[in-house]
Amino acid sequence: MFKKILIANRGEIACRVIKTARKMGIATVAVYSDADLRSLHVDMADEAVNIGPAPASESYLVIEKIIDACKQTGAQAVHPGYGFLSENSRFAAALKEAGIVFIGPNPQAIEIMGDKIASKQFAADAKVSIVPGYLGEISKAEDAIAIADEIGYPVMIKASAGGGGKGMRVVHSAKEVAEGFNSARSEAISSFGDDRIFIEKFIVNPRHIEIQVLGDKHGNVIHLGERECSIQRRNQKVIEEAPSPLLDKKTRKKMGEQAVALAKAVNYDTAGTVEFVVGQDRSFFFLEMNTRLQVEHPVTELITGVDLVEQMIRSAAGEKLSLKQSDIRLNGWAVESRIYAEDPYRGFMPSTGRLVRYQPPQETAHVRNDTGVYEGGEISIYYDPMIAKLCTHGETRADAIDKMSDALDEFYIKGIKHNIPFLAAIMGLNRWQLGSLATSFIDDEFPDGFEGAERADDLIGKLALVAAFIDDMHNNRKRNISDQMSGKKVSFSSNRVVKISGEWINLSVSTERSGLVRIDLADGESHAIESNWVPGEVIWRGRINGEPLSVQIAPIANGYKLSHRGIEIKTSVYTAREAELAKLMPVKLPPDTSKQLLCPMPGLVVSIDVAEGDKVAPGDRLAVVEAMKMENILRAERDTTIVKIHSAAGDSLAVDAVIMEFD
């Protein structure tokens, strides 16, 4: 077994690998860019080596720098995590040449499976079910039309070297094939330097289901069941679960056997994933193989009890698999939610900055949080915006979802925008709870973007009670302030008015004992509210009529902003007289920004594409702002003239900073 390994990655996956290495008694080496000097993975590792400037192309992606770091520290092996160099066959070969073990697959497997055309041909030879299509290279639009006509519409045009949706088109007619073929080729050459295109049948209303495989260097390969990854946004997975609510034992067995057959065909010798596109009728077709550890591997670990990172390390050290296929049992259900630094209310624009507060839910046997950040740390503009992977495990799917909903309610982040309300809203959707999934799920459920979860009346009522409880707690503290002037003791009326979601709710509050409040509504309803919450805590945990509830709290003028189950709502608590006066107050309208171009996220101005005095039309490019590896093109929404430009290329802007003004 290795005495020291280097992790050629950053963030949560680097921390994840370090935890297992520590458990195995293996020393760890972290590498870091200038931007990651104070990152959590650097602090956790036994040693750390700086490998260059912030851009990944000058640090984490430079093979020579990783090898140099191994030589400096005496690391015997390298775990690549996922992303960066994890599926780079040149990296695996360079490590081998330097006498360093790659904790990953052999270079040949990476190379074959990294080419979408070659991998499909290989899969077909291994008797793996593949999507009907044409696997050869297509050089002319006329040939593409003929092939598409033969396969039958709709078809998908895909770049062989593609990924992340680039070089990919779904087309429904010969005319669309001609247009889609040329644009896909152009996109492929500009994104990947490879213009090879293939065509395959497009599966309508598909699901994305993958099989986890595990191999060693002695020819043994097993599978550990499947993961459902159909909840995606822009081809990026958002929520994953294991097992899939669609598959039965027969289909699982067939998919697993085919995944193992493919892995054996390429002498696969570590953890990897065979991905399938699956019809609602359980028909399945090979999509691709990811020759690395997947982001969503924790859900498989939770239902099988197998530490995949440990197995990868043992396989790389030459050990035989200690598990047989018959040893694998799927226990319960697991769900993973990817928590990103992005604003779901503004088209999921990236959000960067300091984590002023970072308070994840407490980890237990059924709640796991893989993260690479900490309170006070920064979310950088240079890397992936993932903050954490929150996972829950339950006896049933419904149990795992309930635990996830509770855990999301207890996950408090302040200082940046995040997608926790969006994830919580999905957990509450009837379609999600029924397991009626497809890769179009998010587009189907939120066609006009995300505006928060639906505000059910019973939930609004519960939040009003929480606001009244918090207000009463504050009033009780005021009654007991020391060194008050002598005279009549301060008293507070028990009658209160809570303003929430446009409603004014009259109620009466009485404290029965410490931590127990009785609230009577005007219609005669009475509620017992119990909680040990004290002012200053950001999560209110308690019971309403015996039912547990967790609510996030942020103070605002005359009240609180409460967050629960994907709802973020402002509440105000008044005395009866204050409520009368509050109803007379004019409503402050937001400023008119229709004549300004505002920066949609914190980022770097790449270019300003207009000048003062220019006339522009709808769709014209105005500026480009980069954040978290994404370039965002800002376009004109109407006919107008540029009056004043406030920014220049190279400027770092905060969210809502004015870039330019229109007439």
Domain boundaries, the chain: 4-103, 116-131+206-331, 133-201, 339-433, 457-479+493-582, 596-662
Mean pLDDT of 604-611: 93
- Helix then strand count (H, E) for the chain reads 17, 39
CATH for 457-479+493-582?
Answer: 3.30.700.30
- Selection from 505, 562, 508, 558 nearest residue 533 by Cα: 562
- For residue 388, name the pLDDT band (cuts at 50, 70, 90): very high
- For residue 590, name the pLDDT band (cuts at 50, 70, 90): confident
CA distances from 330 to 395, 398, 403, 639 (A): 11, 16, 19, 59
Q: In this model, does residue 164 exceed pLDDT 60?
A: no
- Selection from 226, 223, 252, 255 nearest residue 241 by Cα: 226
3-class DSSP state for residue 91?
A: helix
3-class DSSP state for residue 474?
A: helix
Q: In this model, does residue 219 exceed pLDDT 90?
A: yes
Q: In this model, does residue 397 exceed pLDDT 90?
A: yes
Report the CATH architecture of 596-662.
Answer: Beta Barrel (2.40)
CATH for 339-433?
Answer: 3.30.470.20
- For residue 380, name the pLDDT band (cuts at 50, 70, 90): confident
Radius of gyration of the chain (CA): 28
Q: What is the mean pLDDT of the chain?
A: 92
Fold match between 4-103 and 457-479+493-582? no
Mean pLDDT of 323-350: 95
Which pLDDT belongs to residue 531? 96
Q: Are 509 and 472 in contact (CB under 8 A)?
A: yes
- Sheet order of strands, 658-662 included: 596-598, 658-662, 640-645, 615-616
3-class DSSP state for residue 280?
A: coil
* 12 alpha carbon, distance to own chain's centre: 12
Q: Which of 228, 288, 296, 301 is catalytic?
A: 288
Residue 115, CB-side half-sphere exposure with 13 Å CA sphere:
16
Residue 605 gets the label, from left (phi > 0), alpha (psi -120 to 50) or beta, of beta
Joined tokens for residue 538 = 């950001």
- List, for residues 435-480, the tens digit of each pLDDT value: 999 999 999 999 999 999 988 888 999 999 999 999 999 888 877 7
- The rounded distance, in Å, linking the Cα atoms of 238 and 423 is 8
Joined tokens for residue 408 = 């999301």
The residue type at 606: V
3-class DSSP state for residue 16?
A: helix
The residue type at 265: A
The DSSP bridge partners found for residue 6 are: 29, 78
- List, for residues 153-162, the tens digit of each pLDDT value: 999 888 877 6
Helix (H) or strand (E) holding 512: strand 503-513
- For residue 619, name the pLDDT band (cuts at 50, 70, 90): confident
3-class DSSP state for residue 307?
A: coil
Which pLDDT belongs to residue 163? 60
The DSSP bridge partners found for residue 509 are: 519
Which pLDDT belongs to residue 169? 85
Helix H segments across 305-419? 308-316, 397-409
Mean pLDDT of 122-130: 91
Q: In this model, does residue 73 exceed pLDDT 80?
A: yes
Q: Is 288 designated active site? A: yes
Mean pLDDT of 628-654: 88
- Selection from 656, 178, 225, 211 nearest residue 417 by Cα: 656
Which pLDDT belongs to residue 186? 79
- Selection from 640, 631, 630, 632 nearest residue 610 by Cα: 640
116-131+206-331 topology per CATH: D-amino Acid Aminotransferase; Chain A, domain 1 (3.30.470)
Which pLDDT belongs to residue 190? 67
Q: In this model, does residue 493 exceed pLDDT 90?
A: no
The class (CATH top level) of 133-201 is: alpha beta
CATH for 4-103?
Answer: 3.40.50.20
Which position has the token pair 């018959």?
326
- List, for residues 534-553, the tens digit of each pLDDT value: 998 999 999 999 999 999 99
- For residue 166, name the pLDDT band (cuts at 50, 70, 90): low
Which pLDDT belongs to residue 44? 98
- Selection from 329, 312, 330 nearest residue 321 by Cα: 312
Q: In this model, does residue 104 exceed pLDDT 70?
A: yes
Cβ count near 396 (within 10 Å): 10
Q: What is the pTM of this model?
A: 0.85
Q: Give the torsion sign (CA, 342, 345, 347, 353).
A: negative
25 burial via Cβ count (<10 Å: 0-12, 13-18, 19+): exposed
